[in-house]
Structure 1
Amino acid sequence: MTAPTATGAPVDEAASQTTSTADGEYVVSFTGTPEAATAAIQAAGGTVEGVTAQVGMALVSSPDAAFLEKVRARGEISGAARNHAVGTARPGMPHRFAEERPAVAEPAAGGSGHANRPERADAEPLAELQWNTEMIGATPEGAHRTATGKGVDVGIIDTGIDASHPDLAPNVDADRSRNFTTDIPAVDGPCEVASCVDPADVDDNGHGTHVAGIVAAAGNDFGIAGVAPEATLVNLRAGQDSGFFFLYETVAALVYAGDTGLDVVNMSFYTDPWLYNCSSREEYLEGTVTDEELAQQQLVRRLVLDAVAYAHSRGVTLVGSAGNEHQDLAAPTRVDETSPDYPLDTARPRTVVNTCLSLPSEAPQVISVSAVGPSTTKADYSNYGLGDVEIAAPGGWLRDFVGTPAFQAPSNLVLSSYPLDVAIAEGLADENGDPVDEFSVEYCDEAGVCGFYTYLQGTSVASPHVAGVAALIVEELGRSTGHTGRALEPERVAGVLARSAEDHACPAGGVEVYTDEERPPEWNAVCEGTTDVNGLYGEGIVDAEAAVLGR
């Protein structure tokens, strides 16, 4: 590792050569009018493919390897960077969300993967498997007595929503759903349609469908019920099939969320390729960075922060996952061993200060969520940090209940909807659509209609619980917007979430120790703060019943 100089991280010439291949697609930011920016881009040899004028951003293509240098020299342009690197990844790369489906050394205990209807007449058929909604009181006998999310629009910025899933179809608004991505064969595998632009009602990754089910799987006597089972789901696809979330697509989705009048948006991802985005070399304590890479991080910061602020200003309550790196985000420094995560095999370990931001979750208007297991203990993988995490929610934790028969049981994770074709492709289901192990469930009704569900864990799973409760709050406390719509200022939603959350004290001794769960001591989490507010749980564990009933 090259030692840092007095001016911060040194330039890594080898890395610069690795990432210098022009890929033809760029994000350009501008300060003037779109017309002036377009003229400047064209003069630099670029073609404008799309403009998001609300935050001064353009998507540009150019075959010129010197395009970035030329366009940055134009006075109308405030920044430019590559949007992604085509041809530097490979189909079959590790699943972007692979850590959310943990592997176990021994076969898990449990049932056959099929489930029968529980005895409770008012519950959904798989309700007995939903410890997560029971924990937060998002049940027919709890919060749903008062609020179900009706009249509230929830955007899912993710890899898509499988709108054909029987538990999601009743709630998906196809007319307002959008796909901001184009499949890239070198990254995502073969395109499913000739144009490589999928319809806005599919999910070829599965992550977005799982998130959407937690928020608003319908209360339709089928499968599971979401936290807000009558909320309207709007698919804002910004994630590639491979799970990458590129800059232009992410910003465009956020801006659209504000313009289309959504009430709540869930964001269970970070904007690639940087886990943490720095603004200067002085923020690097160890590691190297090229001028090009630093410019890219600066552009991500500027545009994502502006887009988050724009959506928030237009009434959108924004909820995000805190991350699965088991790091204390409030600590002075952060270790990052995964960035940049594209082009392929270019990641270099670095240590940066905590002013380098994971976005969008660390934007000031985003409610950042940590994850707990069914015991209510912070999951070992979950990021945390006093002042960084606002609230905790069920995220699942396979290693919960260590020392008991429940240790490493699939039921420690969170069950939600999943696209059947993705499940078959990933080997979660056989060619007939039947689960291959206890980590997935198939439910079929008397008419022979079937839905597929799988267990996952992660802060990606925790965040949509908070987004669902936010939808319940908007319904219960919001004002009418005409017809059946409701609206409530994001600050008020955040205030109710904080006040109603169930306090969770720090562990005895002030440290959550994970060595019994076979984690190294570096995973142990120091809990700063009080029972009211602390670094592991923020204001506490989200409580749907208290939020809408005032308890």
Structure 2
Amino acid sequence: MVRHTRRTFLKVSGSLLGGVAVGSTVTAAESAERFLVDTKRGSAGRLERSDLAVVHDLPEVDLAVVEGSESALADSKFDYAPDTTYELDLPVDDAPVEAEESATDEPLYPLQWDKHVQGVPDVHETTRGEGTRVAIVDTGVAAGHPDLAHAVDEDRSRDFTGDGYGSGGPYGGYHGTHVAGIVAASDENEAGVVGTAPGTEIVDCRVFSQTGSASFADMMAALVYSARIECDAVNMSIGAYPVSRAGLGSFYGKVLNRTTTYANRQGTLLVVSAGNDAADLQHDGPVVSLPNEAAQALSVSATGPIGFQWGEEGLEDGPRSPAYYTNYGTNAVDLAAPGGDVDLEAAAEDEVPWYYDLVLNTVAEPEFSDDGEYLGAIYDYNWVAGTSMAAPQVAGAVALVKSVAPDLNANQVESVLERTADVPDGYDKTYYGSGFLNPLAAVEDVE
């Protein structure tokens, strides 16, 4: 099988079984009535007296998010900028996955090459991530999914969109449920798949709405909230690239770095996807990738096999090889982890189960009436690929390390993960940063 090397994105439709995650982008339009405000020289109360509605008050980082007229805000003398939005475009098909017999109790585990290569069952002999907490800032986590019902803390979960649907459900799409399953899918229900840290607690911080967009301000509020409630890790499988450094402006950079630094100081390690643009973040000139190039963010690139359980002569590429779509850069990426890869020629022909090279985990497809009423969700399992799938592998590893060594701070946990990672033979740090994630070695390092 000849593999295509052209770095393009595969959009899946029709009868195909998987999806390749497409990069999020910042929309060109800025909000005309929603603003981020620097409150270092004032207070949110003063904003309210200016006929502005405070949506998020974040005193820990001297930030408020308000709605109202820009003229009222201009009169307040605060430094501010319009809110911006991100869009998430991820294809997925709802074809069912057939269970297979397993040496473990989870029938789909044989298809989880991502857990095989990380030695997850061996790690679970020491810890399953008990006593830890991971926030998923995403489209919403389906608390009702049979493989996640044990993990989602619905009391702590929050909806940051204000769209009225609430939290604990896949109201913005399947993506957050897939991410959460990679972290914490149950290993004790003898059904479905297994997560890296099934003993951890998941907090759903929903920032994407049914319309498919998320605001920068809501993401900052979710990050602050995650630190407030002492999450050990917050996973943000969200990215925007390319964003002009000049267009970004000093205000947005200041807000982002102030927020990520606060979370880090509170002990919350921010794990982010490096992005799916096949871009060299090390040498991309006057543009930036967000939020993975923010201060204190642990950026994760993606790897994956070609030919897992379908190659005629075995694997063409191993599970540690860089995925064709992943962003890279020696000093821009911190770790690599399983995110899935695709043989584009095989996928186009659709004569072999090429999607086995993607990452299999939980999905929940929301259903809405014509007038927007939420009708429920269809719970299932599916294959998806992207750095969105690589980041939660690392977030799960954070939970494993913190479970064994709860006194470590965020920087120390990151250091453990980086020093126990290694760059595969035949490659250099360009795609890996410190190396390929090794949760078993990380746990053994801190035992």
Q: Does 1:80 align with 2:64?
A: no
**Offset, 1:366:** 1.0
Q: Does 1:38 align with 2:30?
A: no
Given the superposition, is the C-alpha separation of residues 300 and 35 from structure 1 closer, same or farther in structure 2, using an over 3 Å criterion? Answer: closer
Larger radius of gyration: 1
**Offset, 1:424:** 13
**Offset, 1:300:** 2.6
**Offset, 1:83:** 4.6
Asked whether the equivalents of residues 399 and 407 of structure 1 are also in contact (C-alpha less than 8 Å), the reply is no
Which SS does the other structure have where 2:88 is aligned? coil
Given the superposition, is the C-alpha separation of residues 421 and 33 from structure 1 closer, same or farther in structure 2, using an over 3 Å criterion? Answer: same
2:315 corresponding residue in structure 1 = none
Instruction: Give unpaired runs (5+ residues) of structure 2.
Output: 1-27, 306-317, 371-375
1:24 corresponding residue in structure 2 = 33
Instruction: Give unpaired runs (5+ residues) of structure 1.
Output: 1-17, 86-94, 103-110, 184-196, 281-293, 334-352, 426-430, 434-450, 480-487, 508-529
Query: How many equivalent pairs are there?
Result: 397
Larger proportion of strand: 2
Given the superposition, is the C-alpha separation of residues 407 and 73 from structure 1 closer, same or farther in structure 2, using an over 3 Å criterion? Answer: farther
TM-score by length of 2: 0.81
1:224 corresponding residue in structure 2 = 193
Whole-angstrom CA distance in 2 between matches of 1:275 and 1:242: 22
**Offset, 1:46:** 3.1
2:21 corresponding residue in structure 1 = none
Q: Deviations over 1:153-207 (max 9, x none)?
A: 0111111100000100001111111111123xxxxxxxxxxxxx11211112111
**Offset, 1:543:** 1.1
Aligned counterparts, 1:122-161, within 5 A: 122-139=104-121, 142-161=122-141
Which SS does the other structure have where 2:414 is aligned? helix
Asked whether the equivalents of residues 140 and 169 of structure 2 are also in contact (C-alpha less than 8 Å), the reply is yes
Asked whether the equivalents of residues 215 and 464 of structure 1 are also in contact (C-alpha less than 8 Å), the reply is yes
Over aligned residue pairs, what C-alpha RMSD do you find?
A: 3.1
Given the superposition, is the C-alpha separation of residues 36 and 112 from structure 1 closer, same or farther in structure 2, using an over 3 Å criterion? Answer: closer
**Offset, 1:545:** 1.4
**Offset, 1:360:** 1.9
Structure 2 residue identity aligned to 1:537:
Y
2:292 corresponding residue in structure 1 = 361
Aligned counterparts, 1:56-135, within 5 A: 56-62=62-68, 64=69, 67=70, 71-72=73-74, 74-75=76-77, 77-83=78-84, 96-98=88-90, 101=92, 113-118=97-102, 120=103, 122-135=104-117
Asked whether the equivalents of residues 400 and 407 of structure 1 are also in contact (C-alpha less than 8 Å), the reply is no
Asked whether the equivalents of residues 31 and 78 of structure 1 are also in contact (C-alpha less than 8 Å), the reply is no
Asked whether the equivalents of residues 101 and 457 of structure 1 are also in contact (C-alpha less than 8 Å), the reply is no
Given the superposition, is the C-alpha separation of residues 432 and 463 from structure 1 closer, same or farther in structure 2, using an over 3 Å criterion? Answer: closer
Which SS does the other structure have where 1:154 is aligned? strand
Whole-angstrom CA distance in 1 between matches of 2:251 and 2:152: 33
2:356 corresponding residue in structure 1 = 411
Whole-angstrom CA distance in 2 between matches of 1:71 and 1:24: 10
Whole-angstrom CA distance in 2 between matches of 1:207 and 1:227: 17
**Offset, 1:27:** 2.4
Whole-angstrom CA distance in 2 between matches of 1:133 and 1:246: 33
Q: Deviations over 1:343-385 (max 9, x none)?
A: xxxxxxxxxx1xx432221113111000001222111110000
TM-score by length of 1: 0.66
Given the superposition, is the C-alpha separation of residues 101 and 250 from structure 1 closer, same or farther in structure 2, using an over 3 Å criterion? Answer: same
Asked whether the equivalents of residues 398 and 407 of structure 1 are also in contact (C-alpha less than 8 Å), the reply is no
**Offset, 1:225:** 0.8
Choose from 445, 456, 465 the match for 2:393.
465
Which SS does the other structure have where 1:469 is aligned? helix
Which SS does the other structure have where 2:117 is aligned? helix
Whole-angstrom CA distance in 2 between matches of 1:112 and 1:238: 28
Asked whether the equivalents of residues 170 and 365 of structure 2 are also in contact (C-alpha less than 8 Å), the reply is no
Structure 2 residue identity aligned to 1:28:
V
Given the superposition, is the C-alpha separation of residues 179 and 275 from structure 1 closer, same or farther in structure 2, using an over 3 Å criterion? Answer: farther
**Offset, 1:457:** 0.2
Q: Does 1:169 align with 2:149?
A: yes
**Offset, 1:494:** 0.8
Given the superposition, is the C-alpha separation of residues 47 and 407 from structure 1 closer, same or farther in structure 2, using an over 3 Å criterion? Answer: same
Given the superposition, is the C-alpha separation of residues 243 and 493 from structure 1 closer, same or farther in structure 2, using an over 3 Å criterion? Answer: farther
Whole-angstrom CA distance in 2 between matches of 1:298 and 1:237: 27
Which SS does the other structure have where 2:205 is aligned? strand
Asked whether the equivalents of residues 233 and 399 of structure 2 are also in contact (C-alpha less than 8 Å), the reply is yes
Asked whether the equivalents of residues 216 and 231 of structure 1 are also in contact (C-alpha less than 8 Å), the reply is yes
Structure 2 residue identity aligned to 1:540:
G
Asked whether the equivalents of residues 158 and 269 of structure 1 are also in contact (C-alpha less than 8 Å), the reply is yes
2:339 corresponding residue in structure 1 = 395
Which SS does the other structure have where 2:124 is aligned? helix
2:439 corresponding residue in structure 1 = 544
**Offset, 1:317:** 1.3
Structure 2 residue identity aligned to 1:330:
Q
Q: Percent identity?
A: 32
Structure 1 residue identity aligned to 2:209:
Q
Choose from 161, 167, 175 the match for 1:181.
161
Whole-angstrom CA distance in 2 between matches of 1:144 and 1:29: 45
Structure 2 residue identity aligned to 1:302:
K
**Offset, 1:420:** 4.2
